[in-house]
Protein backbone atom coordinates (compact mmCIF):
# COMPACT_ATOMS: atom_id res chain seq x y z
CA UNK A 1 0.00 0.00 0.00
CA UNK A 2 1.19 3.50 -0.85
CA UNK A 3 0.51 6.44 1.44
CA UNK A 4 -0.31 10.06 0.74
CA UNK A 5 -0.46 13.03 3.08
CA UNK A 6 -3.26 15.57 3.23
CA UNK A 7 -1.93 19.12 3.27
CA UNK A 8 -2.89 21.61 6.04
CA UNK A 9 -5.05 23.59 3.62
CA UNK A 10 -7.78 24.63 6.07
CA UNK A 11 -7.90 26.09 9.57
CA UNK A 12 -5.13 27.58 11.65
CA UNK A 13 -2.32 25.75 9.86
CA UNK A 14 -3.31 26.97 6.39
CA UNK A 15 -0.09 28.99 6.21
CA UNK A 16 2.91 29.22 3.91
CA UNK A 17 5.17 27.84 6.64
CA UNK A 18 3.00 24.79 7.30
CA UNK A 19 2.39 24.01 3.64
CA UNK A 20 6.10 24.11 2.90
CA UNK A 21 6.94 22.01 5.96
CA UNK A 22 4.37 19.33 5.06
CA UNK A 23 5.52 19.17 1.44
CA UNK A 24 9.21 18.92 2.26
CA UNK A 25 8.65 16.43 5.08
CA UNK A 26 6.48 14.23 2.86
CA UNK A 27 9.13 14.19 0.17
CA UNK A 28 11.94 13.47 2.64
CA UNK A 29 10.14 10.66 4.50
CA UNK A 30 8.83 8.74 1.50
CA UNK A 31 5.15 9.61 1.17
CA UNK A 32 3.88 8.90 -2.32
CA UNK A 33 1.55 11.88 -2.68
CA UNK A 34 0.22 15.19 -1.32
CA UNK A 35 -3.48 16.13 -1.31
CA UNK A 36 -5.78 19.10 -0.97
CA UNK A 37 -9.57 19.36 -0.51
CA UNK A 38 -12.01 21.71 -2.18
CA UNK A 39 -14.24 24.40 -0.71
CA UNK A 40 -14.63 27.99 -1.87
CA UNK A 41 -17.37 29.66 0.19
CA UNK A 42 -19.62 28.02 2.73
CA UNK A 43 -22.07 29.08 5.44
CA UNK A 44 -22.00 28.17 9.12
CA UNK A 45 -22.50 24.38 9.25
CA UNK A 46 -25.14 24.87 11.95
CA UNK A 47 -27.32 26.63 9.38
CA UNK A 48 -26.91 24.14 6.52
CA UNK A 49 -29.92 22.35 5.08
CA UNK A 50 -27.53 20.15 3.07
CA UNK A 51 -26.17 17.16 4.95
CA UNK A 52 -22.49 16.27 4.96
CA UNK A 53 -22.40 12.58 3.99
CA UNK A 54 -19.55 11.73 6.37
CA UNK A 55 -20.87 13.26 9.63
CA UNK A 56 -24.50 13.26 10.72
CA UNK A 57 -24.09 16.55 12.62
CA UNK A 58 -22.26 18.33 9.75
CA UNK A 59 -19.17 18.48 11.96
CA UNK A 60 -15.60 18.59 10.72
CA UNK A 61 -15.53 22.03 9.11
CA UNK A 62 -13.68 25.13 10.27
CA UNK A 63 -15.85 28.18 11.01
CA UNK A 64 -16.92 29.95 7.79
CA UNK A 65 -14.56 32.89 8.40
CA UNK A 66 -11.45 30.71 8.83
CA UNK A 67 -8.87 30.06 6.09
CA UNK A 68 -9.43 27.44 3.39
CA UNK A 69 -6.89 27.55 0.58
CA UNK A 70 -7.78 26.93 -3.06
CA UNK A 71 -6.99 23.29 -3.79
CA UNK A 72 -5.48 23.67 -7.26
CA UNK A 73 -3.38 26.67 -6.29
CA UNK A 74 -2.17 24.78 -3.21
CA UNK A 75 -0.96 21.89 -5.35
CA UNK A 76 0.72 24.24 -7.79
CA UNK A 77 2.47 25.87 -4.82
CA UNK A 78 3.86 22.65 -3.35
CA UNK A 79 4.77 21.35 -6.82
CA UNK A 80 7.50 23.98 -6.91
CA UNK A 81 9.24 22.65 -3.77
CA UNK A 82 8.95 18.91 -4.50
CA UNK A 83 10.20 16.58 -7.19
CA UNK A 84 8.77 13.11 -6.51
CA UNK A 85 5.43 13.15 -4.70
CA UNK A 86 2.25 13.04 -6.77
CA UNK A 87 -0.26 15.85 -6.32
CA UNK A 88 -4.00 15.26 -6.03
CA UNK A 89 -7.39 16.51 -4.85
CA UNK A 90 -9.56 14.65 -2.38
CA UNK A 91 -11.76 15.72 -3.96
CA UNK A 92 -12.21 18.57 -6.42
CA UNK A 93 -15.90 19.50 -6.70
CA UNK A 94 -16.09 19.44 -10.45
CA UNK A 95 -19.15 21.71 -10.71
CA UNK A 96 -17.57 24.66 -8.88
CA UNK A 97 -15.60 25.91 -11.91
CA UNK A 98 -15.96 26.12 -15.66
CA UNK A 99 -14.72 23.14 -17.63
CA UNK A 100 -12.10 24.90 -19.76
CA UNK A 101 -10.81 26.90 -16.79
CA UNK A 102 -10.28 23.70 -14.81
CA UNK A 103 -8.72 21.87 -17.74
CA UNK A 104 -6.15 24.66 -18.12
CA UNK A 105 -5.29 24.69 -14.39
CA UNK A 106 -4.80 20.93 -14.29
CA UNK A 107 -2.79 20.81 -17.49
CA UNK A 108 -0.57 23.58 -16.08
CA UNK A 109 -0.06 21.69 -12.82
CA UNK A 110 0.82 18.49 -14.63
CA UNK A 111 3.07 20.25 -17.13
CA UNK A 112 5.05 22.16 -14.50
CA UNK A 113 5.26 19.26 -12.04
CA UNK A 114 6.56 16.83 -14.63
CA UNK A 115 3.47 14.65 -14.79
CA UNK A 116 2.59 14.24 -11.10
CA UNK A 117 -1.08 15.30 -11.01
CA UNK A 118 -3.99 13.12 -9.89
CA UNK A 119 -7.47 14.49 -10.52
CA UNK A 120 -9.69 13.36 -7.65
CA UNK A 121 -13.26 14.42 -8.41
CA UNK A 122 -16.69 14.46 -6.83
CA UNK A 123 -20.03 16.07 -7.65
CA UNK A 124 -20.46 17.86 -4.31
CA UNK A 125 -23.07 17.77 -1.59
CA UNK A 126 -23.49 21.37 -0.37
CA UNK A 127 -26.23 23.09 -2.37
CA UNK A 128 -25.64 26.33 -0.47
CA UNK A 129 -22.05 26.53 -1.72
CA UNK A 130 -23.09 26.01 -5.33
CA UNK A 131 -25.58 28.86 -4.89
CA UNK A 132 -23.01 31.13 -3.22
CA UNK A 133 -20.57 30.87 -6.14
CA UNK A 134 -23.27 31.08 -8.80
CA UNK A 135 -22.93 27.59 -10.24
CA UNK A 136 -25.85 25.28 -11.13
CA UNK A 137 -26.84 22.58 -8.66
CA UNK A 138 -29.35 20.75 -10.86
CA UNK A 139 -28.19 17.72 -12.88
CA UNK A 140 -24.73 18.14 -11.39
CA UNK A 141 -23.86 14.50 -12.01
CA UNK A 142 -24.54 14.83 -15.73
CA UNK A 143 -22.65 18.10 -15.79
CA UNK A 144 -19.68 16.43 -14.08
CA UNK A 145 -19.64 13.63 -16.64
CA UNK A 146 -19.66 16.16 -19.47
CA UNK A 147 -16.78 18.06 -17.86
CA UNK A 148 -14.70 14.89 -17.67
CA UNK A 149 -15.34 14.33 -21.38
CA UNK A 150 -14.27 17.90 -22.11
CA UNK A 151 -11.05 17.36 -20.12
CA UNK A 152 -10.24 14.27 -22.14
CA UNK A 153 -10.84 16.06 -25.43
CA UNK A 154 -8.74 19.10 -24.50
CA UNK A 155 -5.89 17.02 -23.13
CA UNK A 156 -5.60 14.67 -26.12
CA UNK A 157 -6.72 16.53 -29.25
CA UNK A 158 -4.96 19.31 -31.16
CA UNK A 159 -8.09 21.23 -32.18
CA UNK A 160 -11.17 20.73 -30.06
CA UNK A 161 -14.84 21.27 -30.82
CA UNK A 162 -17.40 20.23 -28.24
CA UNK A 163 -21.18 20.30 -28.43
CA UNK A 164 -22.84 18.94 -25.30
CA UNK A 165 -26.09 19.49 -23.43
CA UNK A 166 -24.45 22.01 -21.08
CA UNK A 167 -21.30 23.24 -22.84
CA UNK A 168 -20.48 24.07 -26.46
CA UNK A 169 -17.32 25.61 -27.88
CA UNK A 170 -14.75 25.42 -30.61
CA UNK A 171 -12.80 24.84 -32.49
CA UNK A 172 -10.12 25.89 -29.99
CA UNK A 173 -6.49 25.08 -29.49
CA UNK A 174 -5.27 23.95 -26.08
CA UNK A 175 -1.64 23.86 -25.00
CA UNK A 176 0.38 22.76 -23.16
CA UNK A 177 -1.05 19.30 -22.80
CA UNK A 178 -0.58 17.43 -19.52
CA UNK A 179 2.80 15.74 -19.34
CA UNK A 180 1.01 12.43 -18.71
CA UNK A 181 -1.29 12.82 -21.70
CA UNK A 182 -4.33 11.87 -19.65
CA UNK A 183 -4.26 12.84 -15.97
CA UNK A 184 -5.44 9.93 -13.78
CA UNK A 185 -9.04 10.41 -12.56
CA UNK A 186 -9.92 9.18 -9.06
CA UNK A 187 -13.68 9.30 -8.56
CA UNK A 188 -15.03 9.97 -5.08
CA UNK A 189 -18.51 9.32 -3.74
CA UNK A 190 -20.60 6.68 -2.04
CA UNK A 191 -23.63 6.30 -4.31
CA UNK A 192 -24.47 4.07 -7.30
CA UNK A 193 -24.01 7.13 -9.54
CA UNK A 194 -20.44 7.53 -8.25
CA UNK A 195 -19.79 3.84 -8.86
CA UNK A 196 -21.02 4.17 -12.45
CA UNK A 197 -18.88 7.28 -12.95
CA UNK A 198 -15.86 5.37 -11.70
CA UNK A 199 -16.54 2.52 -14.11
CA UNK A 200 -16.88 4.87 -17.07
CA UNK A 201 -14.20 7.47 -16.38
CA UNK A 202 -12.10 6.45 -13.40
CA UNK A 203 -8.56 5.29 -13.01
CA UNK A 204 -9.41 4.68 -9.35
CA UNK A 205 -12.29 4.74 -6.90
CA UNK A 206 -11.55 7.08 -3.98
CA UNK A 207 -13.51 6.43 -0.79
CA UNK A 208 -13.61 8.87 2.12
CA UNK A 209 -13.79 8.04 5.84
CA UNK A 210 -15.25 4.57 5.34
CA UNK A 211 -15.14 1.61 7.69
CA UNK A 212 -13.84 -1.64 6.24
CA UNK A 213 -17.43 -2.92 6.02
CA UNK A 214 -18.71 0.17 4.25
CA UNK A 215 -15.75 0.24 1.87
CA UNK A 216 -16.34 -3.40 0.99
CA UNK A 217 -19.92 -2.52 0.01
CA UNK A 218 -18.76 0.49 -2.01
CA UNK A 219 -16.11 -1.56 -3.79
CA UNK A 220 -18.62 -4.26 -4.63
CA UNK A 221 -20.78 -1.51 -6.18
CA UNK A 222 -17.87 -0.28 -8.28
CA UNK A 223 -17.07 -3.80 -9.46
CA UNK A 224 -20.68 -4.42 -10.47
CA UNK A 225 -20.75 -1.09 -12.33
CA UNK A 226 -17.60 -2.08 -14.23
CA UNK A 227 -19.01 -5.46 -15.15
CA UNK A 228 -22.25 -3.89 -16.38
CA UNK A 229 -20.35 -1.95 -19.07
CA UNK A 230 -17.86 -4.69 -19.88
CA UNK A 231 -14.89 -3.18 -18.06
CA UNK A 232 -12.51 -5.40 -16.13
CA UNK A 233 -12.75 -4.29 -12.45
CA UNK A 234 -9.06 -5.13 -12.09
CA UNK A 235 -8.28 -2.03 -14.19
CA UNK A 236 -9.65 0.23 -11.40
CA UNK A 237 -7.52 0.96 -8.33
CA UNK A 238 -9.10 1.12 -4.87
CA UNK A 239 -7.97 4.14 -2.82
CA UNK A 240 -9.17 5.93 0.30
CA UNK A 241 -8.91 8.92 2.61
CA UNK A 242 -8.85 8.50 6.39
CA UNK A 243 -8.01 10.49 9.52
CA UNK A 244 -4.95 9.43 11.52
CA UNK A 245 -4.89 9.95 15.28
CA UNK A 246 -2.07 8.35 17.28
CA UNK A 247 -2.46 7.29 20.92
CA UNK A 248 -6.19 7.89 21.15
CA UNK A 249 -9.40 5.96 20.70
CA UNK A 250 -12.67 6.84 19.02
CA UNK A 251 -15.63 5.03 17.54
CA UNK A 252 -16.07 7.52 14.72
CA UNK A 253 -15.98 6.01 11.26
CA UNK A 254 -12.96 6.63 9.07
CA UNK A 255 -10.49 7.39 11.86
CA UNK A 256 -7.42 5.18 12.18
CA UNK A 257 -6.21 5.51 15.76
CA UNK A 258 -4.26 4.05 18.66
CA UNK A 259 -0.74 2.78 19.14
CA UNK A 260 1.61 2.04 16.27
CA UNK A 261 0.56 -1.61 16.27
CA UNK A 262 -3.14 -0.78 16.44
CA UNK A 263 -2.78 1.57 13.48
CA UNK A 264 -0.87 -1.12 11.57
CA UNK A 265 -3.58 -3.68 12.29
CA UNK A 266 -6.38 -1.37 11.17
CA UNK A 267 -4.66 -0.42 7.94
CA UNK A 268 -3.81 -4.06 7.26
CA UNK A 269 -7.55 -4.81 7.12
CA UNK A 270 -7.97 -2.20 4.38
CA UNK A 271 -4.93 -3.56 2.53
CA UNK A 272 -6.47 -7.03 2.63
CA UNK A 273 -9.60 -5.60 1.03
CA UNK A 274 -7.46 -4.32 -1.83
CA UNK A 275 -6.74 -0.67 -1.01
CA UNK A 276 -3.64 0.33 -2.94
CA UNK A 277 -3.26 3.97 -1.88
CA UNK A 278 -4.33 5.62 1.39
CA UNK A 279 -4.34 9.36 2.05
CA UNK A 280 -3.89 10.17 5.74
CA UNK A 281 -5.31 13.33 7.30
CA UNK A 282 -3.05 13.68 10.34
CA UNK A 283 -4.40 15.12 13.56
CA UNK A 284 -2.14 15.79 16.55
CA UNK A 285 -1.69 18.19 19.42
CA UNK A 286 1.22 20.60 19.54
CA UNK A 287 0.57 22.75 16.51
CA UNK A 288 2.74 22.37 13.43
CA UNK A 289 5.57 20.57 15.22
CA UNK A 290 3.15 18.07 16.74
CA UNK A 291 1.70 17.31 13.32
CA UNK A 292 5.14 16.94 11.73
CA UNK A 293 6.20 14.57 14.49
CA UNK A 294 3.14 12.40 13.82
CA UNK A 295 3.80 12.52 10.06
CA UNK A 296 7.38 11.30 10.59
CA UNK A 297 6.25 8.66 13.08
CA UNK A 298 3.76 7.22 10.61
CA UNK A 299 6.38 7.13 7.85
CA UNK A 300 9.02 5.39 9.98
CA UNK A 301 7.04 3.17 12.38
CA UNK A 302 3.81 2.29 10.54
CA UNK A 303 4.00 2.55 6.74
CA UNK A 304 6.86 0.04 6.28
CA UNK A 305 4.78 -2.65 8.00
CA UNK A 306 1.74 -2.46 5.68
CA UNK A 307 1.86 -4.82 2.73
pLDDT at 207: 98
pLDDT at 155: 98
pLDDT at 45: 75
DSSP reduced 3-state for 122:
strand
pLDDT at 46: 74
pLDDT at 154: 98
Beta strands in the chain (DSSP E): 2-6, 33-36, 86-89, 92-93, 117-122, 159-163, 168-173, 185-188, 204-208, 237-246, 255-258, 275-283
- Asked whether the bond before 171 is cis by omega within 30 degrees of 0, the reply is yes
Q: Residues of the chain whose pLDDT is less than 70?
A: 61
pLDDT at 33: 99
Report yes or no: 233 and 223 within 8 Å, Cβ to Cβ. yes
Share of the chain above pLDDT 90, in %: 90
Structural domains of the chain, ranges and CATH numbers in brackets: 2-305 (3.20.20.30)
Report yes or no: 64 and 44 within 8 Å, Cβ to Cβ. yes
Cα atoms in the Cβ-side hemisphere of radius 13 Å centred on 80:
9
Amino acid sequence: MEFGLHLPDAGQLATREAMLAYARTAEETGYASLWSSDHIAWPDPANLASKYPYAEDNSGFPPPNSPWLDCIASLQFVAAVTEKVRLGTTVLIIGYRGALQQAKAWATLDHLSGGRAILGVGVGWMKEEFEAIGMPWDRRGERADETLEIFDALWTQESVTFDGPFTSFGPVGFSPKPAQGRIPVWVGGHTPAAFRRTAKYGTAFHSAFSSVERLREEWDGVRRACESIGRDPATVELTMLCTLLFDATTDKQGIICGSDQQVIDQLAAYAELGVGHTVVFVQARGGLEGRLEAIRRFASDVAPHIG
